[in-house]
Amino acid sequence: MINKSILFKTLKVNKVFFEKINKLKILVFGILSLLIFTALFSGQKTIPPIDRDEARFAQASRQMVLSNDFINIKFQDEIRAKKPIGIYWLQSFAAKMFGYEDISSFRIPSLLSSFISIVFLTLITRLIFSFERSLLVALFFGSSFIFVGEAHLAKTDSALLSLICIQQFLLLKIILSKKKSFKIEYVYPSFLWLVFAFGVLVKGPVSIAILFSTIISFCFFQKSINLLKSIKPVLGILICSIIIIPWFLAIQEATNGLFLQKAFNEDFFNKLQSGQEGHGAWPGTHLLLLSITLWPIATFLPSLILFCKENKNNLVVRFLICWIVPFWIMIEITPTKLIHYPLPILPAVTILTIGGLFQFKHNISKIKSLFIKNLVYFFSIFLGLGGILLGVIIFYISNNFEYQIDNHLFLPSILVLTITLLVFTISLILIFSKSGIFINYQNFISNIPIAIIALGALFHIINFKLIFPNLDYFYPSKIITKKIEKIKPDAIASAGYHEPSLVFMLNGNVLLSTPNEVAIFMAEGQKNVGLIEDNSLSEFLEFVDELSLKIVQKETVKGFNIAKGKHIKIHIFTNQTFDQLN
């Protein structure tokens, strides 16, 4: 077992944050936890499916439930080879339990996974800090923008994060074990490989990259391969083979070998070769985006470097560095960049960052160079500005992209912007107080971490409860569906607007087609409805004239296509005969 007294001495953690609240710590942590849980639950049912990935995952899972086929992954009639089966099984099970009509059922695995991630992040942090400080680290991470955001999306990332947190906890327990026992030699490695195998079934190569890059870099750090022996690779091969291989064999047989071919050629290799679906960016993008993804923690990120330098010989710190650095290099050199890519390593980043905050005063005092000190303060300010930028963006879209202009989002968006400004201000006060400034306000300063977590949670509650569900201009599929429900057609076809959210909102009952085919489709059925995106309108009308088809434009829906990043206009057409019948 790990010797806690030696570890705490090595880390030199001061006891600033909880000196004034020891008697109230249960109440404080209870309130903070309640705020985080409220933020995670807010908007789960009221925010429509987001294009494109969430709607694709949810629709494919729904089709599994409806077809009772839990081997094939399909989006409408197309083989969906983006990810392995794991997340679809989880979402299908949730949909069977809670219904497959509403998007919230498909978000349940992500929501539950977020709680699991918090629990195991606390357990990992407990191996380096006291219980109270471990809870503080976990709650800081629980208030981060990317964590709360992914908990609201029916995708793989939140589920994968929970599995990686469990996997890394077990790996760290094996590393820190001093005495050999049946639990250390067989139970931990068995569960490690079990969780790893499920991670592969959820998101393929990411679990592989995290586990093996951590192990290889740690062995390099330690100049020893003892860890490789400790994890029992032969046992791992056996467990992974039993869990992973059966489904891959089944899907290959069901698709005549197309699944893996499409998965590698159309998804994996595309991401490595170029920016997939227009998501390319330069190396360093993820580092820059940390100011937003890890808000409200981002201001303290420079303390991570000081903490690692001061404690580089500590086993836990080394492990966390090995968890972060290799994977970070991989995602930075990969051309495709998405904001959630660093998520699997952000728990480790958070532990080191808040650890650095705990002993920031000690670490900054050891820096002799005034230039380096000023550089630390400069980057603290710079990274803190990401939160203000986030607040400004939310304020702008809330007041400029309402579907009906009535300014009912003005007050919530002002509160959101105010919170980001407050967090920025008190975070800097906390950082600069370590240099001796604000020495007369220590009672206030010692409680700033608690205030930051609470404000971060309130920020998410306002956004996910009040703002995001009401940004209908960003959800054109939601508006189209409401208008279609009034028309009550026999069938629907769409040209130009092929977003997965439309397929999900219409329960899969829409034909994604070309303008010409939509015109023919409408000619074939009096009660058929055509959805035509503005750029396809002229081509559609030309073909309608050729067919001598009488149509009526019932509605026009304006909105913003999130996936393409542009304003759109969708025209809803019915047959003139259908219009007369109604």
Average pLDDT over residues 302-323: 95
Better-predicted residue by pLDDT, 337 or 504 = 504
**Helix, strand and coil in the chain, % to nearest 5:** 70, 5, 25
The mean of the pLDDT values for the chain is 90
Average pLDDT over residues 499-515: 95
In sequence order, what are the beta bridge partners of 383? Answer: none
Residue 335 main-chain phi, psi, to 5 deg: -60, -40
pLDDT of 312 higher than 60: yes
pLDDT of 538 higher than 90: yes
Tell me the C-alpha distance between 75 and 134, whole Å. 42
Tell me the C-alpha distance between 221 and 376, whole Å. 26
Give the number of other Cβ atoms within 10 Å of residue 378's Cβ.
11
CATH superfamily of 475-581: Periplasmic binding protein-like II (3.40.190.10)
Token digits for 395?
Answer: 């304020």
Token digits for 162?
Answer: 């929970």
Token digits for 334?
Answer: 């990969």
- Closest C-alpha to 557, from 514, 497, 488: 497
Query: Tens digits of per-residue pLDDT, 132-169?
Result: 999 999 999 999 999 999 999 999 999 999 999 999 99
Token digits for 111?
Answer: 């929501």
Query: Tens digits of per-residue pLDDT, 196-218?
Result: 999 999 998 999 999 999 999 99
Q: Measure Cα distances from 326 to 56, 138, 258, 388 in Å.
A: 30, 23, 32, 30
pLDDT of 180 higher than 90: no
Tell me the C-alpha distance between 547 and 549, whole Å. 5
- Residue-range domain boundaries for the chain: 4-365, 475-581
Longest CA–CA separation in the chain, Å: 86
Residue 566 main-chain phi, psi, to 5 deg: -150, 155
Average pLDDT over residues 445-463: 94
Q: Which helix (H) or strand (E) element contains residue 93?
A: helix 86-98
- Cβ atoms of 176 and 316 within 8 Å: the answer is yes
Q: List b or e across 226-247, with b for residues whose CB sees 16 or more CB atoms inside 10 angstroms.
A: ebeebbbeeebeebbeebbeeb
- Written as one letter, the residue type at 187 is V
Query: Tens digits of per-residue pLDDT, 222-233?
Result: 999 999 999 999
- 3-state secondary structure string, 166-213? HHHHHHHHHHHCCCCCHHHHHHHHHHHHHHHHHHHHHHCHHHHHHHHH
Cis peptide before 469 (omega within 30 of 0): no
Tell me the C-alpha distance between 178 and 197, whole Å. 27
In sequence order, what are the beta bridge partners of 492? Answer: 529
Average pLDDT over residues 115-123: 97
pLDDT of 575 higher than 80: yes
What is the pLDDT confidence band of residue 460, given thresholds at 50, 70 and 90? very high
Which pLDDT score, from 0 to 100, does residue 436 have?
64
pTM: 0.91
Tell me the C-alpha distance between 119 and 113, whole Å. 10
Token digits for 478?
Answer: 């939601």
Tell me the C-alpha distance between 151 and 250, whole Å. 30
Which pLDDT score, from 0 to 100, does residue 279 have?
56
Tell me the C-alpha distance between 479 and 572, whole Å. 11
- Cβ atoms of 358 and 17 within 8 Å: the answer is yes
pLDDT of 444 higher than 80: no
* Mean pLDDT lowest among 78-87, 187-196, 293-302, 525-534: 78-87
Residue 574 main-chain phi, psi, to 5 deg: -125, 165
Average pLDDT over residues 250-262: 86
Q: Measure Cα distances from 365 to 362, 373, 434 in Å.
A: 5, 9, 9
Average pLDDT over residues 495-507: 96
Tell me the C-alpha distance between 8 and 17, whole Å. 16
Query: Tens digits of per-residue pLDDT, 263-278?
Result: 777 766 665 555 455 5
Which pLDDT score, from 0 to 100, does residue 270 have?
63
Tell me the C-alpha distance between 241 and 476, whole Å. 44
Tell me the C-alpha distance between 16 and 119, whole Å. 24
pLDDT of 348 higher than 80: yes
**Coil, strand or helix: which one is 471?**
coil
